[in-house]
């Protein structure tokens, strides 16, 4: 674990829909104050600033980054039927995107209104807000809800003033910028469409992993593409593999527990008769390099993927510096025999991870050509014993997986 992402904690207003039912929404996706943390999340409401700073410092002390989920695509004021709370009364036509009939609101967010980041003062407000959270609270990055809206300008969808502003700002360009690359507006699905410097949630990875693990046919080849960075979506304009934020579950839809316990959604408790949320959850109540024909085999359930650390990262000739890894996925219900591949420069593999045996005192070594029994519905990670420049990488991997935690009070006798 390297980072913790918090759902929106900026000051927000409770939605009328749940409150009318006597329920409370803790999600915070209904922001009204972009420079303040909501006091309801803290032990001492008036002391929220100090408490939040202390919390973030504690995370940093143990090497964890803090990512804020932020909502700058709309506000809590809703559409023309909702009350004036703030921005409507200050300058409605500047803060919100309006159609020709300015009694109404453009609703690309599905919430009733859309914040107008094409206006210079609104753009300034949002960037000042972000800089505040970085400089004053030491936040390490942001995940932007419905980020496609930032690229939708009145004259078209090519780029966007907000995206460009973040790229040139000396503060914002130094932190992690993560887009949720879709919204409810026209052309809203834009996975892979953000510029260099931005990362994006990759729902292609989410859906493909779920389908493969569920046992769907014909997805092995696509899973391989997703595992190596979704080059078909992100390999352009100099973007790197980290531009794809790979996830399996999030705050929307099923939890990881739900994913393997339910075939269908069960949202009865919130009083909406199970009508909210997506019904497309791809859930289930639950050894050798493939040939082109095997990749296309709809019944494939198990395969191995070699990530060759000896490959050059760029066209510049220099020694390789990455570990060579073998990932093995088995969605089959039974054991599959895997023959460990032969790779030049070494003839031994170490098994770093086997989800069927998560606790091991030491790592096992295997010769190339040896047969390893892959347990049903498991994931394995092997590392090639490296020589030359990649040897230190292998040693660090081995040490990180075999270091014992020292008991409190000193070394045990």
Query: Whose CA is closest to 346, among 364, 327, 317, 323?
Result: 323
Which residues of 91-181 form beta strands (DSSP E)?
A: 141-144, 176-179
Q: What angle do CA 234, 238, 243 make, to 5 degrees?
A: 40
Residues contacting 162, CB < 8 A, separation 6+: 72, 117, 123, 126, 127, 150
Burial of 114 (0-12, 13-18, 19+ CB in 10 A): buried
Which active-site residues does the annotation give?
A: 145, 180
Dihedral sign (CA 360, 365, 368, 370): negative
Burial of 342 (0-12, 13-18, 19+ CB in 10 A): exposed
Q: 3-state DSSP call for residue 326?
A: strand
Dihedral sign (CA 275, 280, 281, 286): positive
């Amino acid at each position: 674990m390297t980072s913790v992402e918090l759902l929106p904690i900026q000051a927000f207003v409770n939605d009328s829909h749940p409150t009318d039912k006597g329920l409370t929404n803790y999600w915070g996706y209904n922001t009204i104050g972009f420079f303040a943390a909501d006091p309801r999340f803290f032990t001492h409401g008036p002391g929220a600033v100090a408490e939040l700073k202390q919390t973030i410092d504690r995370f940093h002390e143990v090497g964890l980054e803090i990512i804020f989920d932020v909502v700058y695509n709309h506000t809590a004021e809703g559409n023309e039927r909702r009350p004036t709370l703030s921005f409507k009364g200050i300058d409605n036509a500047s803060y919100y995107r309006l159609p020709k009939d300015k009694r109404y609101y453009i609703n690309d967010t599905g919430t009733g209104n859309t914040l107008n980041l094409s206006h210079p003062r609104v753009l300034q407000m949002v960037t000042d807000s972000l800089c505040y959270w970085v400089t004053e609270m030491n936040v390490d990055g942001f995940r932007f809800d419905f980020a496609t809206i930032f690229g939708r300008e009145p004259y078209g969808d090519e780029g966007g003033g907000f995206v460009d502003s973040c790229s040139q700002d000396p503060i914002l360009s130094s932190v992690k910028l993560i887009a949720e690359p879709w919204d409810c507006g026209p052309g809203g699905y834009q996975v892979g469409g953000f510029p260099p410097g931005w990362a994006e949630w990759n729902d292609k990875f989410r859906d493909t992993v779920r389908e493969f693990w569920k046992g769907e046919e014909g997805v092995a080849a696509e899973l391989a593409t997703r595992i190596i960075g979704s080059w078909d979506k992100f390999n352009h304009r100099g973007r790197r593999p980290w531009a794809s934020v790979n996830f399996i579950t999030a705050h929307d839809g099923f939890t990881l527990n739900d994913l393997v316990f339910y075939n269908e959604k069960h949202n009865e408790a919130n009083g909406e008769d199970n009508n909210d949320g997506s019904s497309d959850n791809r859930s289930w109540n639950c050894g050798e390099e493939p040939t082109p024909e095997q990749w296309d085999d709809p019944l494939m359930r198990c395969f191995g993927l070699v990530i060759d650390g000896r490959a050059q990262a760029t066209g510049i000739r220099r020694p390789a510096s990455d570990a060579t890894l073998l990932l093995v996925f088995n969605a089959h219900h039974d054991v599959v025999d895997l023959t460990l591949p032969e790779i030049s420069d070494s003839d031994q593999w170490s098994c770093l991870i086997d989800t069927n045996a998560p606790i091991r005192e030491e790592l096992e070594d295997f010769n190339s050509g040896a047969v390893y029994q892959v347990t049903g519905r498991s994931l394995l990670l092997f590392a090639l014993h490296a020589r030359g420049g990649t040897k230190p990488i292998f040693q660090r991997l081995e040490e990180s997986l075999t270091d014992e935690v020292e008991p409190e009070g000193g070394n045990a006798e």
